[in-house]
Structure 1
Amino acid sequence: MHPNDDTTNILRFFYLKGNSTAAQVIDFVPPTIVVIIAFFMTGNIFSVNIATLFSILFNGVLIATADKLIWPSLKHNFKVKNIVEK
């Protein structure tokens, strides 16, 4: 998997109770900050286009929809375990 996808899954299943939309939005925060910093330093944006904006806005929704409608029996490889110290 792409590291960005893996981070989305970690956020989704360990911290956000399966909410793929929130996980995707949070996952895009660091790259967005880097783009903003680069813009203020150079005055240019080269890496953002329509597909990037579509991805930021709709990937989480598409993942959630696909999980429910297209492949509802998909078993994700992330399991939340309760760790109890003795």
Structure 2
Amino acid sequence: MSHKVTLWPQNIEFIVANGQTVLDAALNQDVAFPHRCKVGACASCLCRITRGQVSYDLEPMLTENEKQQGWMFSCLAHTESDLVITFGEE
């Protein structure tokens, strides 16, 4: 099942197919998304979920506080619902 991701505040939307990471989906649809390593080591793709849920095949190195604040590694994240994400604090 695919899910829609909205990048806020730009209001850019893209679709993440089942089995695809958020980062791969964005790049495949020509959405400019910061990244470098694509394996969760550099933290360049770190963004914050303001609405929705993701899962990981391999848990990223996030503190409990960062998880509670909604931070995610888009290169490792698979959508479990539609998402609204941002690169900023709010």
Range into which the TM-score falls when normalised by the shorter chain: under 0.3
TM-score of the aligned structures, taking structure 1 as reference length:
0.25
Q: Which structure would you say has the larger Rg?
A: 1
Structure having the higher helix fraction is 1
Higher relative contact order (CA 8 A, sep 6+): 2
Structure having the higher strand fraction is 2
